[in-house]
């Protein structure tokens, strides 16, 4: 009986020790004092992010779905468009390639930007799901959930503020 209890205890404890990071989420919305069509034109144009996002200093279009983005902090990320739904004004993307820690402290990220008409204004929603940079059980400081959450929250809020300011 003791042996059975020991085996069951080990079987239950083992998956808990192997648990990796939990996916994180950011979901922000702003109202932009411009019509939805003009805001969508900014969001959907390849590399236009360098014009309206204050954290982006440059963008180079690689092909119809891929752009290399340089951030103000010197980091570089590659954005790959998964879907551009013109009818619903929705851009779905992911970060591709190797994501440098100094760019964004995440190991992976998928996002969606949606523009809706709100009277004569535009409601812009930006959602991202991501994992911290270090996906091990005990990440070092700077590669943990809190750091990743703060960085992604800050990036998205800054982008929405840029759109809101009419850049």
Per-residue burial over 115-151, b = 16 or more CB atoms within 10 Å of its CB, e = otherwise: bbeeeebbbbebbbbbbbbbeeeebeeebbbebbbeb
In a domain, 13, yes or no: no
Residue 75: which residues within 8 A CB-CB, separation 6 or more? 100, 101, 102, 103, 104
pLDDT in tens, 26-58: 999 999 999 999 999 999 998 999 999 999 999
pTM, rounded to two decimals: 0.86
Within a domain: residue 6? no
Task: Give CA 86 to chain center in angstroms.
Answer: 20
Strand partners, 76: 70
- Any idea what the CATH number is for the domain that residue 103 is in? 3.30.530.20
Taking the C-alpha atoms of residue 73 and residue 106, their distance in angstroms, rounded to an integer, is: 15
Q: What is the pLDDT of residues 54-77, one digit of tens each?
A: 999 999 999 999 999 999 999 999
Structural domain count of the chain: 1
> Are 36 and 117 spatial neighbours (Cβ–Cβ below 8 Å)?
yes
Q: Can you give the residue range of the structural domain that contains 117?
A: 23-164
Mean pLDDT, all residues of the chain: 91
Cβ pair 47, 57 in contact under 8 A: no
- Answer whether residue 7 is part of any domain: no
């Amino acid at each position: 009986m003791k042996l059975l209890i020991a085996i069951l205890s080990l079987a239950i404890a083992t998956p808990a020790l192997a648990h990796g990071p939990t996916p994180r989420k950011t979901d922000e919305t702003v109202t932009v004092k411009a019509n939805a069509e003009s805001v969508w034109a900014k969001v959907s144009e390849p590399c236009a992010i360098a014009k309206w996002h204050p954290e982006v200093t440059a963008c180079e279009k690689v092909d119809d779905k891929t752009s290399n983005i340089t951030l103000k902090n010197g980091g570089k990320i590659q954005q790959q468009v998964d879907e551009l739904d013109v009818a619903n004004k929705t851009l779905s993307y992911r970060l591709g390639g190797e994501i440098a820690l100094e760019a964004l402290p995440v190991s992976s990220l998928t996002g969606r930007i949606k523009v809706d008409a709100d009277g004569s204004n535009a409601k812009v929603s930006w959602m991202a799901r991501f994992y911290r940079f270090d996906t091990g059980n005990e990440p070092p400081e700077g590669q943990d959930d809190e750091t990743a959450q703060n960085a992604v929250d800050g990036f998205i809020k800054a982008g929405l503020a840029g759109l809101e300011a009419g850049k």
